[in-house]
Amino acid sequence: MTQSSSGWAFRRLGIPSIKNITNLFLIFCFIGTGIHGGIKEDVEKIIKSQYGDSIVFAMKKLSLGKQDRTQIEHKVHQRFFKDFLYIWTIKQKNGEKMYGLLDNVKGLSMPITFLVFFDGKGQILNSHVIRYREPYGGEISSSKWNAQFIGRSEKSNFVVGDGIDGISGATISVYSMTTGVMKLSLLFPLIKSQL
């Protein structure tokens, strides 16, 4: 049995391996309490391209109530990544408001950061994958795949294979993203009064 002496010494002293340290660093970068890595800028670029320059928008960090959060998590069998979301309120010249909710779901091994736009009635206007960090399955970022959610709401069916297409090689990502969008659809009516 051959092992590097330094690897043995680190394990013997209880010091984590470089791989574990790197993984911890990546996790802290991706799930910290702020929006990192240009995510806010990317979201706001999408908002402008989606709704034009004649809009006004503002972002806020909204804490999720434990009761609402737990109720939804039990219903969809997926936990919220954090106990808060970043939400953009978008107001058009005619006074119409839309809302962009930013969340993360766990892919195979890394988080998938996504944005869902809702109208004032809770219908999905669009969804976007902001960051896809897995080596395979990036097809869930396509606008064609995300278009399947348009018009859905809390009362809609979110079943892969029954109105939501699967993607070969991205099974976990498809299920995670679909459940994440459903989770936000269920949450929206509960938080709308706070927006």
Higher pLDDT, 175 or 22: 175
Q: What is the pLDDT of residue 53?
A: 85
Q: What is the pLDDT of residue 176?
A: 96
pLDDT tens by residue, 117-142: 999 999 999 999 999 999 888 899 99
Higher pLDDT, 13 or 185: 185
Q: What is the pLDDT of residue 3?
A: 47
Q: Report the mean per-residue pLDDT for the chain.
A: 87
| CA 186 – CA 193 distance, rounded (Å) | 14
| CA 116 – CA 149 distance, rounded (Å) | 9
pLDDT higher than threshold 90 for residue 65: yes
pLDDT tens by residue, 31-48: 444 566 799 999 999 999
| CA 57 – CA 126 distance, rounded (Å) | 17
pLDDT higher than threshold 60 for residue 26: no
Percent above pLDDT 90 for the chain: 74
Q: What is the pLDDT of residue 60?
A: 97
**DSSP code string of 122-142:** S-EEEEEEEEE-SSS-GGGGS
Contact present, 39 and 102 (Cβ < 8 Å): yes
pLDDT-derived band at 172 (thresholds 50, 70, 90) equals very high
Percent above pLDDT 70 for the chain: 82
Contact present, 157 and 178 (Cβ < 8 Å): no
